[in-house]
Chain A
């Protein structure tokens, strides 16, 4: 479980996050939703330690990330798998080398063991036998899937995804969403997905936190979302005619 307590973050005079607290539960897909500029990417970057917080706590199963020394932080980071918005695959490596990279850096596994794990991960994301493809040869959906494979290579306890289906067609987006949900349940990991895609919310939203103006203004799950009377949330979620109709039925 990841818990954030009273998080404050500002960039100069711009207060991006203001007293945010939330629990991201294990074995569930926890969604952070909100409009562009609402602070959700900042929150995700705080969770993975790319931004320092002004105040508050980030607890990974009770371990306060900001109180850890560099060695402990490094160890904790090996328990976190991150899926970046644009994949962030190393373009000087091929698919196999990308997935194998964390194993090479942080384990003493033999080449055979590593290749077995790489093939398992590729099979998991339905990309078996694509080991030698270059990153430039991959489609948008394949990039996301290889990124997921790399993120799960070290069998992480936490999986953090930044807009995993941005730029994907609706069908591929659903495949990616379901893959993330499946991995979260089967591997019993704490998954956080940062998204503003309403299809994702309806598809995989086990636990949802809505951020508005740097504060969490609503929490619940996808079923509760449909019944919510929060005006800002409704304006955001049911912005399209299709979703308005869905809410009214």
Chain B
């Protein structure tokens, strides 16, 4: 219990150190652009592939469960849209990105710690937490919502392709997608992914920043970063859903 409280305290101390005004704006912007590319643009491929297939599978499974003639066919498009916006895109992608981006952040910062690069920054008088972590948090918080919008779009395209294989007409599917659209669900989805982005980047940075030892410990930190950020994402998924939808 003491160790958990110590870690939580350390996490908030790190955040306090991180959220300080950048020493040189130009250096911060350069780092931010690098992170946007590393964290955001390099995740486009995996997000596109996963979203397409999730969308396709969701629509096929929904069609399979709505075989009864009592249910109108457009419900398949409707259910696919709701599933993607409410849960699959924000939560599932956050978990996948916790694996990809989280482990990348933790191992990068962890390697810098064990090779004394962070010490070198501190000795120079640079706020290492702000220099290394702040651009990563900004990049994830800014780019993950963009990724999610893309994910929903690709997921719906995947859903349409899935419907074609399940024998549902495009017209029914399109009608279902537009049926009873509640714009707040998109807001809810964006709020969720913004919070998840912050959790993934800050928790992973924490495990990387406090790595001790050598290469093995960098691996351990990376694994811990993925496990803990995934668990915290799931907890916040429950809390946010309860707060915003219940």
Contacts and interface: CB of A to CB of B under 8 A. Distances in A.
Decide if A and B are genuine partners. yes
Nearest to B30: A104
Given A82-B120, A105-B23, A74 B115 contact: no
Nearest to A73: B125
B31 to A, nearest CB: 9
B117 A75 contact: no
A199 B117 CA distance: 28
Given A85-B116, A88-B116, A104-B24, A78 B34 contact: no
A105 B116 contact: no
The interface centre, meaning the residue of B27, B34, B126 with most chain A CB atoms within 10 A of its CB, is: B126
Contacts of A48: 123
Interface string B20-48: 00011011000000100000000000000
A88 B27 CA distance: 19
Contacts, number: 48
B87 interface: no
B110 to A, nearest CB: 13
Nearest to A106: B125
Interface in A41-87: 48-50, 73-75, 77-78, 80, 82, 84-86
A50 B120 contact: no
Interface residues of A, number: 23
B27 A104 contact: yes
Contacts of B27: 104-105
Contacts of A80: 123
A49 B124 CA distance: 11
A88 B115 contact: yes
A92 interface: yes
A211 to B, nearest CB: 21
B125 A91 contact: no
A84 B116 contact: yes
Given A88-B117, A90-B117, A105 B123 contact: no
A77 B34 contact: no
Interface in B114-137: 115-117, 119-120, 122-126
A102 B126 CA distance: 9
B114 to A, nearest CB: 10
Contacts of A85: 116
Given A104-B24, A105-B23, A105-B24, A78 B116 contact: no
A49 B122 CA distance: 9
4 nearest interchain CB pairs?
A: A77-B125, A88-B116, A88-B120, A74-B125
Interface of A: 48-50, 73-75, 77-78, 80, 82, 84-86, 88-92, 101-102, 104-106
13 contacts: A49-B123, A74-B125, A75-B125, A77-B124, A84-B120, A88-B119, A88-B120, A91-B115, A104-B24, A104-B26, A104-B27, A105-B24, A105-B27
